[in-house]
Chain A
Amino acid sequence: MLGGGILKGLAVTARNVVEGFVSKERLTTVQYPEERVPQVEATRDFPFLVFDGEDPMAGLRCVACQICEKECPPKCIYIDKSSDKKPDATGKPQFYPARFDIDISVCMSCQICVEVCPFEAIKMDVEFELSTNDRFDDLLYDKHKLAKSNEYYNHVHPTEAAAVDTKLAVERAKAAARAAAAAQPKPAAVSPAPESGAQA
């Protein structure tokens, strides 16, 4: 009979109104600034640079190999390689980024940079409240703003960071063993490597 389907629809909406008051399943809204949904571990938005140890600039894992700069699909990473080498967290002398800028107004959060980085130096952040007053300068992040500690990385992506740490520890132990083996004949070159390796 004409009107039956309409009544059925009205019943559905009425049910939704009533159940919205009792069931969280129906009324799924989260009142954002006061309430927040729990952080999902895999979430990503913009990249940051991981550093080991205390000093952000000294501990950067990035060696300015510029792979991410080349692979970045929207080309939003700008790296200037340093002309000199500085010891990294493991004490090995490495190049370091004299400039490492990411224009996050261009970045599309694809995490290709993370995948291609052979040094586990760049990772995805979860911080999303990034509004600023200046859409040019404030959205061009330099290496000081990008550098975040390994502890922070462990905090936001625990599972992934643990795997990375294990992998790095294994690699560093291997490197240390190789260095030690290589250092046997020439003990002069060894000095700081084992300690900082243990530190990391």
Chain B
Amino acid sequence: MSSIQLADQIFVLLKHWLVGRVPVSLQPVVGILITVIPIICVFPALFAITTILERKGLGRIQNRYGPNRTGPFGILQPLADGVKALTKEDIVPANADKVVHFFAPVVLVMLVFLAYAVLPMGRNMAAVDLDCGVLFFFAIGSGTEVAVFMAGWSSRNKYALLGAMRAIAQMISYEIPLILSAVAAIMIAGTLNLQQIVTQQAGYSGIFPHWYVFTPWGFAAFLLFIISATAESNRSPFDLPEGESEIIAGYYIEYSGFKFALFFLGEYLGMFSISAIAITLFLGGWAAPFSFLTWVPSWLWFFAKLVTMILCFIWVRGTLPRLRQDQLMNFAWKFMLPMALVVLTSAACWRYTEGWQRWAISFLVVIIPYSWLGHGMMSNRKLEQRKYRFAE
């Protein structure tokens, strides 16, 4: 085994070695623990890094420094935040449904962690190599709505209820284009297994990879997926459920201290996992972006892509204002859903044509409905940049 392969498979080998050390009867349990523990350590750590990254990034976008007082360049800020969250008083409203109020963040974080079971974080690095991994991911993801409902309802707060209603309506609506745009990739890959979807994209023509995002349908599907993912993880510009300027914090308005931190964690972990799925489906998962870079360990590529996606989310958050509830719904049902179906058609065209024609056909199949729908959306409500008259 070459050193490149060793670096690539180091975690897998380590796990095998460790499991081999224990008695046979304990091996399944130890194997599970060794797989699970890194996941529940690495991703919260990534969450901590992301909070500081987000605050720094937003700061830079807004011409500020961002937090820079705790530790060198403020890198200890997440630690300070964590200590603060842990030591804060845990306030439960007197009228709240205490049991449900307690379980809502627990259920959320539990479900979000479950989704990590199928993510391929490197070559041979998925906790469970499930045959229908994509489906598993979406099924678990849909469960988070229950947690949101629990939080919103149990707080007995009108803002919380409004936030929960918004969140659930939004999540259910955007789940459809999310899954449909994923179906395009699944259709081309011909499998629901995430590892296999990655291996299908891991080939190269020349130095360029066969990622689905570099095809017309794949690019459109990727954009649709990312937009839906943004909505699904309640990120700006779809952060209506917590719409700070309207309903203050939405469904977690009545949470404080560590429970609030759990919600925060759940939200970010949801964002990571859905970005990871987007990477897996369209950006070649752990595959290197150029053929001459394949010597870099696969898990490094995965995390590099993940961080890039997170940075894009931060960038978008720093730029865009928020949509309104009805516009959000209109966008989901009148634009995203038809476009997802169009992309599906385009992917089918790609599947059954050859050579340059497949590029042309699938491109046209995407772009014509897009411009038509986009124009329709703008002119329907007469949205335009206006000309103004001036009085002397």
Residues on A lying within 8 angstroms of B by beta carbon are 1-3, 6, 9-10, 12-14, 16-17, 20-21, 26-29, 31
Contacts and interface: CB of A to CB of B under 8 A. Distances in A.
A31 B73 CA distance: 12
Nearest to B385: A5
A183 B63 CA distance: 69
B341 interface: no
B315 A14 contact: yes
Contact of B374 (A2, A12, A21): A2
Interface string B298-341: 00000000000000000110111000000000000000000000
Interface string B34-68: 00000000000000000000000100111111001
A2 B327 CA distance: 14
A13 B63 contact: no
Contact of B319 (A2, A3, A13): A13
A122 B375 CA distance: 68
| Most chain A beta-carbon neighbours within 10 Å: one of B60, B315, B374 | B60
B2 interface: no
B162 interface: no
A31 B74 CA distance: 13
Contacts of A10: 315-316, 319
Contacts of A1: 371, 374-375
Given A2-B374, A2-B375, A2-B378, A9 B319 contact: yes
Contact of B65 (A13, A16, A29): A29
A31 B378 CA distance: 45
B389 to A, nearest CB: 23
Nearest to B316: A10
A20 B59 CA distance: 10
Interface of B: 57, 60-65, 68, 315-316, 318-320, 370-371, 373-375, 377-378
Contact of A27 (B63, B315, B373): B63
A13 B61 contact: yes
B61 A17 contact: yes
Nearest to B66: A29
7 contacts: A9-B319, A10-B316, A10-B319, A16-B61, A27-B63, A27-B64, A27-B65
Given A13-B61, A21-B60, 10 more contacts: A1-B371, A1-B374, A2-B377, A2-B378, A3-B374, A10-B316, A13-B315, A16-B63, A27-B64, A27-B65
Contacts of B319: 6, 9-10, 12-13
A35 to B, nearest CB: 12
Contacts of A28: 63
A34 to B, nearest CB: 11
Contacts of B315: 10, 13-14
A36 to B, nearest CB: 16
B371 to A, nearest CB: 6
Interface of chain A: mostly helix, strand, loop or mixed: helix
Contacts of A21: 60
B320 A6 contact: yes
Q: Which 4 A-B pairs have the closest CB atoms?
A: A2-B374, A13-B319, A17-B60, A13-B61
Contacts of A3: 374
Nearest to B374: A2
B63 A26 contact: yes
Contacts of B375: 1-2
A111 B68 CA distance: 37
Nearest to B68: A31
A20 B60 contact: yes
Contacts of B373: 2
Contacts of A20: 60, 63
Contacts of A27: 63-65
| Most chain A beta-carbon neighbours within 10 Å: one of B57, B68, B319, B370 | B319
Contact of B318 (A2, A6, A13, A29): A13
B167 to A, nearest CB: 23
Contacts of B65: 27, 29, 31
A176 to B, nearest CB: 58
B334 to A, nearest CB: 12
A16 B62 CA distance: 8
A2 to B, nearest CB: 3
Contacts of B377: 2
Contacts of A26: 63
Contacts of B64: 27, 29
Contacts of A12: 319
A29 B56 CA distance: 14
A125 to B, nearest CB: 29
A14 to B, nearest CB: 7
Nearest to A9: B319
Contacts of B60: 16-17, 20-21
A174 B64 CA distance: 57
A16 B63 CA distance: 7
B91 to A, nearest CB: 28
Contacts of B318: 13
Contacts of A13: 61, 315, 318-319
A29 B65 CA distance: 7
Nearest to B371: A1
B335 to A, nearest CB: 8
Contacts of B61: 13, 16-17
A13 B316 CA distance: 9
